[in-house]
Amino acid sequence: MATDQTMHGVPPSLSARVVGSFAYLTVRDRLPTILTKVVDTIHRNKNKFFEEYGEVGIQAEKQAISLLSKLRNELQTDKPVLALTDGLPDTDSWNQYLERQQRLQGDQEPVSWFKSPWLYVECYMYRRIHEALLLNPPISDFDVFNEGKTQSFTESSQAVMSLCTYLEGIKNNIDELSTNPLFEHFSKLMQVSLWGNKCDLSISAGQENSQKTSPLDSLYSLLPFILVDDTKRVWSALISAQRPRESGKNNADRVDIVLDNAGFELVTDLVLADFLVSSGLARQIHFHGKSIPWFVSDVTAKDFQWTIRQAMATNHKWVSKCGVQWQRYLKEGMWCYHDHPFWTQPHEFCDMAADAPDLYTTLQGADLVLFKGDLNYRKLTGDRDWEHTVSFETALRGFGPAMLCSLRTLKANIQVGLQPGQGEKLTSQDPSWMTSGKYAVIQFHNPKSE
């Protein structure tokens, strides 16, 4: 049987086939828990739907819940994965991907929840949640994850204040800063953005997960948990991409940030982006978010705009000043927000040039692309059972539209680019090191030099 396990020495995709593996426990326990919470959220909003839409809102609520309950049953009983029926622009692409998986798996068994790549079935679940709402207007655009995302932001208010205060402190004398202090600030804000990724609601199955204390205070104590730290290489890449401008400033033309979670993590990304622009390290920032609610806490356009509005309206001098500045960057085009359907599809990123050439071309326009979070790392590396010592470049399998860096706290059992023996030592000290969110990497790749 020709499967993806035999392709050119590329290891197999992680899947729930292996009983007791993290993928297995995710599909068996975490995904049904998330579906149960989604059903509960829709049910709790029944009165709101009735007030807004009358009886038709109640009918839509019932039908959406019925579809989601059916989905949960399919998942728990390892039923075949079904084609989508909602007719969205990406429906054909999803259904073609299902056919592709079936070809890879051979004819012996259908593509199903426990026997197919974990990355695929997990992405597919979120797309089916979206379908259940989409097929039931007028509640089609209800974001079932919105409450958790706004709560994560609100409950992290102390951390947001300390971060914005720190940023404004830097900006007050930014023009006088020499290279070394500028690098120190860059390094700190990269780490804050990295650890902001701990606040991930999909890994906690939607449990409250916010940043209560100042993220800056704990950076030094977290340093030993960064397993690969390519910050200096990222810095050198930004400096080498600098070009003279009419303004007299030298800066890199563009940094793209492929976002992960809303809430506190998004604020850490906005603060880093503000620093890059105001320090002259970059002229323009392009943010990439999700076009539909995704992996519980991922950023959509609505979340992005809401966060900036919340910052502007906050009764705190430096937070509101940041919010006003961020709105101005957007208005003046120094910041842009994009969403592309590819980000909410199950493809490994090595497929991007073939399956979403327009997006690949867009990323080629960047001097540096920062990929936030665990899901992006899984897609960068194909979510495969790589040896820990395999290089990041090898695991990318040709993906390299520009210089890129992954900022990721580990929440899935895949990690490449480690030193010989490093993975074994970690396993003996802390068996859950790959999935606990306690460890992190800042991993860089330059397609031109390697």
Query: What pLDDT is attached to residue 200?
Result: 56
Q: Which domain CATH number covers 106?
A: 1.20.930.60
- 229 and 101 in a single domain? The answer is no
138: cis peptide before it, omega within 30°?
A: yes
Instruction: Find where tokens 């071309």 sit.
Output: 361
- How far is residue 205's CA from residue 222's CA, in Å, rounded to a whole number? 24
pLDDT tens sequence across 349-381: 999 999 999 999 999 999 999 999 999 999 999
Instruction: Find where tokens 């706290």 sit.
Output: 409
Instruction: Look up residue 35 and give its amino acid.
Output: L
Any domain includes 11: no
Query: What pLDDT is attached to residue 2?
Result: 33
- 122 and 160 in a single domain? The answer is no
State which residues form the domain around 115. 22-135
Phi then psi dihedrals of residue 432, to 5 deg: -100, 25
- 188 and 241 in a single domain? The answer is yes
Query: What pLDDT is attached to residue 51?
Result: 98
- How far is residue 135's CA from residue 68's CA, in Å, rounded to a whole number? 12
Any domain includes 16: no
State the Cα angle at 78 between 77 and 81, rounded to 5°: 125
Mean pLDDT of 255-273: 97
**Last residue of some domain: 96, 116, 135?**
135
Any domain includes 131: yes
- 410 and 382 in a single domain? The answer is yes
- 308 and 250 in a single domain? The answer is yes
Residue 376 contacts residue 400 (beta carbons within 8 Å):
no
Any domain includes 361: yes
Any domain includes 29: yes
- 341 and 415 in a single domain? The answer is yes
Query: What pLDDT is attached to residue 248?
Result: 72
More confident residue, 9 or 406: 406
Least confident interval from 71-85, 196-210, 229-243: 196-210
Any domain includes 171: yes
- 114 and 155 in a single domain? The answer is no
Name the domain count of the chain. Answer: 2
pLDDT tens sequence across 385-409: 999 999 999 999 999 999 999 999 9
Query: What pLDDT is attached to residue 184?
Result: 97
If pLDDT is split at 50, 70 and 90, which confidence band does 7 have?
Answer: low
- 155 and 130 in a single domain? The answer is no
- How far is residue 367's CA from residue 422's CA, in Å, rounded to a whole number? 31
Any domain includes 15: no
- 201 and 332 in a single domain? The answer is yes
In this predicted structure, the answer to whether residue 206 has a pLDDT above a threshold of 70 is: no
How many CB atoms within 10 Å of residue 31? Answer: 24
Proportion of the chain above pLDDT 90, given as a percent: 89
Any domain includes 275: yes
Residue length of the chain: 450
Query: What pLDDT is attached to residue 209?
Result: 53
- 298 and 407 in a single domain? The answer is yes
Query: What pLDDT is attached to residue 215?
Result: 83
Q: Which domain CATH number covers 293?
A: 3.40.50.10880
In this predicted structure, the answer to whether residue 123 has a pLDDT above a threshold of 50 is: yes
Least confident interval from 150-154, 205-209, 347-351: 205-209
- 119 and 161 in a single domain? The answer is no
**Last residue of some domain: 102, 135, 168?**
135
- 188 and 271 in a single domain? The answer is yes
**Last residue of some domain: 114, 135, 156?**
135
If pLDDT is split at 50, 70 and 90, which confidence band does 4 have?
Answer: very low
Least confident interval from 93-107, 211-225, 254-268: 211-225
Query: What pLDDT is attached to residue 207?
Result: 61
Query: What pLDDT is attached to residue 203?
Result: 54
